[in-house]
Amino acid sequence: MQRTEGQGVIAAMLASASYTVSKSRWGKVYTELMRTPLILGAMFEEKRRYQCCIGQVVPVNPLEPLIRNLWIGEVTSSVQCQDFNAKVKVCTKQNSTWDSVCDLKLARDKACSGEDADCISKYDLDYYGECQQEPLKGLVVGVYSENGTVELTKTGQDLIKPFEEAFQRRFDIVKEKIGKGKVHIFYGLSDEYSLVAVTGLGSRDQGYDDNEELDLGREAVRHSVASACRALVSKGCVKITVDPCGDGEAAAEASYLSTFNSQPLKSQNKAKTPVNVKVTVVEEDEEVTKAIRRGSFMGLGTTMARYFTDMPANHMTPTIFAKEATRRLEAVGVEVTTHDQAWAEEMKMGSFLSVAAGSDQPPKFLEITYNGAGEGEPPVALVGKGITFDTGGIELKKLSSMMRMRGDKAGGAVVVAVIYTLASLNQQLRGLRLPRLILADALLYAQSFKPKLIMDFATLTGGAVKATGPTATSVFTTQRDLFEKLRKAGSRTGDRVWRMPLWKFYSDRMVKDCELADICNSADSPQSHLDAAAFLKEFVKTDAWLHLDIAPVALGVTVVEEDEEVTKAIRRGSFMGLGTTMARYFTDMPANHMTPTIFAKEATRRLEAVGVEVTTHDQAWAEEMKMGSFLSVAAGSDQPPKFLEITYNGAGEGEPPVALVGKGITFDTGGIELKKLSSMMRMRGDKAGGAVVVAVIYTLASLNVPLNVKGFIPLTENMPSGKATKPTDVVYAMDGTSIVVNAPDAEGRLILADALLYAQSFKPKLIMDFATLTGGAVKATGPTATSVFTTQRDLFEKLRKAGSRTGDRVWRMPLWKFYTDRMVKDCELADLCNSADSLQGHLDAAAFLKEFVKTDAWLHLDIAPVALRGDSNPPSYLKGSCGRPVRTVVEFLTDLSKTKG
């Protein structure tokens, strides 16, 4: 070993320990390996890299004046030894003692003495290697600092007594540096503890801060203990004894929370070793012991919630969640019942089941009962949102938004953990808990138990995150006293809450502005957290309710005198109005309440009541008729397609009919070409064309208009799935025309193509089709008029005059060869493309349909501008769909019925 004349040297076994020195010209490198502190240092230029390797000689003496002020915070990296069997060579200059350098002792001996030569110490690092194989134990002790005085807590003093002298020597050097929240680690002080972490608590009596709503003393204990525990864990400790630091509950909470490292899915050699922590007292103190026990279970309960929340969705399905919750809760004497889907259906939990409908994982509904106060005492109901993974459903989230959605079961996790903790602490309280749910049904079910208090927990909205950020849980309640109790509890635990308004204004947005049902599950507002709370409030019939959004942590006409003409006019107007409202009904009904099957049944019931014949064809029929274009749209949906054929013979046999064809997409997601949510919100109305056909024929039959009419409505959903039609797929229409599907969202024209071809087999004298086909038509005319496409000016003129009388106007658009060429000549894969790369979607759609119509007596009505309410609609239409242009078409066909031929 090389010697440096006139200096003591240490050749230390270190494995590539690299430090960057930037604080001063004197580089300071500090490390302590278990029982033996090894001081390494050198004099070198600022920011120069210093590399320590096995066997390198490092000058020591120049550091002697600096070592007493050495502070671990100046080291930018820690040293880990890998070759544990390497020997440490230690040499000292004659008459030099290590006691002169901070009483540094080299473990069991002071190395060689006296001889000016290289020598080998009796001490080696085999011991360090053994410690790495056995659990490392650490100790946390707290120190108060106030008025220039730094001293250990009472329990801290008791814990270090076995090695008090060694501790005090080292502690005296650094104690002034250990301020509030700071941690200093000592190595090699004790045979029992490999590492001792001293953590600064600040002053003894820090009091309560009204502005921050925090008990500062308790927060100091939590923060300091947690910092110390994390520091020890980072050094390899897997057993930690903790000083209660004057607040056993806070210390115990922090100990468990800061050392939680559950990694059940990692392989054994890569997972972190679980850490065992124990907050202890040397002298028995019943109150402190109770506080420690309470804090320990509070910490354990919180880590349990973290476990359930963090587990990936494929490892925490509804079924696994139920089983795991049952196992843990039954272990502390809590009763758990797992209800299945059949039970939920029997309980008519349609709200809950509507969410579960999209998943292959069977839904579960947990009912958990803890009777801590005995029978007869009304329970507290805890309700938790248990979405084990949230993709957004049809309203598909972005990938970045989905990354944390395994945590959408946090509400359920919280309630499992709360009841577990209550049971573990034997709290005298009855609790009922219902986690895997849609909250509305769960809240209703919870109230059947007549609870004295209801609390629900859910990662419900991003609005709550924006409102308070990660500092507090958003709480909604009308009861100030209840909130105040919760607020005070949060101040003690440091897990604060903040009250948010629960006013009628927000309820009105969810109820009064809802057209289709009693209540909407969302409102078009940026205050989603307020709307969500208002929604839930509609299902709670008691004021004793706390909702915690934990996402941040419904005329008649009277005739006074009989007048035949007036009576006829009233009758006619009544049926025109009824027909329009019928169209509105079919258009407005939600997709899950107006599937193709339901539409067919409901249309049949209403039309047969006025003597109209209805035939419902199924998929097998459509396949037999080779309606490949229609069926290509239906392929993506689990709902079986239907094809309605309606016959009204008002003019008797032999008279050629008028053919009415209506688009019947009961819901349009865009298929594989998935729409945005904002675009999907009105897509239940994509069946408006079919609704118009039903309503027009109903009105004609009710008014006994002498006209033969045939109606044709292809009914299906346009949905994404593994069977859905993909972009550039080629399909075949009924007449053999090949169509390349460039745009799966341009599905209306695909189903109309086959319907138009089938309609012509009845040799109609006129064909009219109705469809909410394109956004281009909306942009072209706005909500003022229906866009009409035809090559027959006289036909359009008659329709225009009818619209002038009803006030439901129409406007003609061009149907030129230029647009047809874009769909045909520019199509490479097939005879025809279903879309063109242009901004005039309404013109392209009409040109596409024209390829399937072999007569000039055709009117294509794109009703997208008028099917739903627009700004220019008169008040008589109110809200929702408008049923347009039913009255204009009835007026037009009535006029047509009076014309011979």
Which active-site residues does the annotation give? 675, 749
DSSP 670-739: -TTSPPPHHHHTTGGGGGHHHHHHHHHHHHHHHTT-S-EEEEEEEEEEE--STTSPPTTEEEE-TTS-EE
Buried b (16+ CB within 10 A) or exposed e, 68-96: eebebebbeeebebeebebebbbbbbeeb
User: Distance between terminal CA atoms of the chain?
Assistant: 119
Cα–Cα distance for residue pair 142/200, rounded to 1 Å = 6
Q: What residues are paired with 59 via a beta bridge? A: 9
Query: Two tokens at 264?
Result: 């059940």
Q: Which class for 105: exposed (0-12), middle (13-18), buried (19 or more C-beta within 10 A)?
A: middle
Q: How far apart are CA 480 and CA 235, in angstroms?
A: 47
Compute the distance between CA of residue 752 and CA of residue 763 in angstroms, rounded to an integer: 17
Look at the alpha carbons of 827, 829, 835, 836 in this order and tell me if their dihedral is positive or negative.
Answer: negative
Question: Which tokens belong to 807?
Answer: 């006030």
Residue 76 tokens read as: 């930018």
- DSSP annotation of 829 reads S
Among 131, 106, 243, residue whose Cα is nearest residue 183: 243
- Beta carbons of 101 and 10 less than 8 angstroms apart: no
Residue 199 · residue 222 · CB < 8 Å: no
Within 8 A by CB and 6+ apart from 487, the residues are: 213, 496, 497, 499
The span from the CA of 374 to the CA of 370, in Å, is 9
DSSP H helices in 235-374 = 248-258, 286-310, 318-330, 341-346, 350-356
SS3 90: strand
